[in-house]
Structure 1
């Protein structure tokens, strides 16, 4: 009988598992990262000064790639873009625009897309206010406030929304309402302004429902009494009344809206649409 050949045993090297260096776990993404706007393009109407400019600063500080300022005031608009570019290294371009002119608005939005490639964020901040008793309000003057504040917001949102839908990347549209859209300010007479801002808030809600399927989020920020040129143009005697009716006892500063605008514009607010955020120092709680 033939001998059975011996099979050599396989030599398995000893692996000292305990001596291996641990594999580093992936770094956990900070919540602050979701507030970043790197690669995004924003358009801010009425962004040459005041609330619009402060919100533009806030967005640029979060890493915007480009921003377009749309305003009627050329000198202020050019200066705003120079400042944003200098301070944040962002590409900024000014477009002179009357938001009541739908043809000019569409041309401006088309130009932004040609210049920057897309529109990711729109802030509708252009607005005016009058203090006129209702019995003395001329229809023409009343219509002007509605045309700028409400109709202008729609025209700008529609023009930007078309590009957002065509680009199929979604977007964020932030309307600037007012606590005046929910309550009646006192003692000043401003029926047109109040009506226009109530319309802006409901317009926002309507568009949020329509455009959610396109991943376009629509929200509004409703400031209380703010320390802006629009307000300081009125009688200083009103300031005392406004402060006394505000639980925090002061006017808001423009930069105090920037955080809310950034949250709504960024992925940090990705599940927020159709909401109106009041930033009024507690005025509407009374």
Structure 2
């Protein structure tokens, strides 16, 4: 392992200890979404120790895609390291109360803000070699020149060796050749108000664009904090738990990310 990687891993271990994180390492295998159809399409769930690509479906969906990534961090467990560019931090900030609202303790998420896409890619390669990390979110905007099949192969090989799960979060980007095990498009949809017009659960339209096992599909889901899992949005609406669809309450209002400034 490169000395710089060793230093980064040691800093992550120290931060995890300071945060009281004792479950940094997570088992291999798959983690289920908690939604039968999605898990069936994935052959049991999202593969740990693999690279997964998450795309904001449109220019209006970065908050939704980031929220989905945060929910997967909660679902996957272990220490979470989130890497992003400084310009992303200036546009959309991770929001502590929003993280708490979905059940992810913001003190257990370590945020690295770097000057440019190349720095994010270099740091990502190091973090993915640290077996004390449970999941790493590598957030990139548009289509960086040095992100391609070769870079994603390096990421995938690193995840396989360390057991770290990598979420490559792509904003305002076009899909290209990649070694990722799965590729998702995330589109924001209106949440459904709870009783008393309380803010509804975050809701998404998710499309599985690529899966090594061959599964594909599109689903409308909402995040249930109590069970830390995803549930079918339409079935939830018919259950009697929710009462209306507020057109003036966008997904970003109930997600762990907000516009900077």
Please indicate, yes or no, whether the TM-score normalized by the shorter chain is above 0.5: no
In our comparison, the structure showing a higher alpha carbon Rg is 1
Q: Under a length normalisation based on structure 2, what TM-score does the superposition of the two structures give?
A: 0.40
Instruction: Give the structure with the larger strand fraction.
Output: 2
Task: Considering Cα pairs closer than 8 Å and 6+ residues apart, tell me whether 1 or 2 has the greater RCO.
Answer: 2
Q: Under a length normalisation based on structure 1, what TM-score does the superposition of the two structures give?
A: 0.37
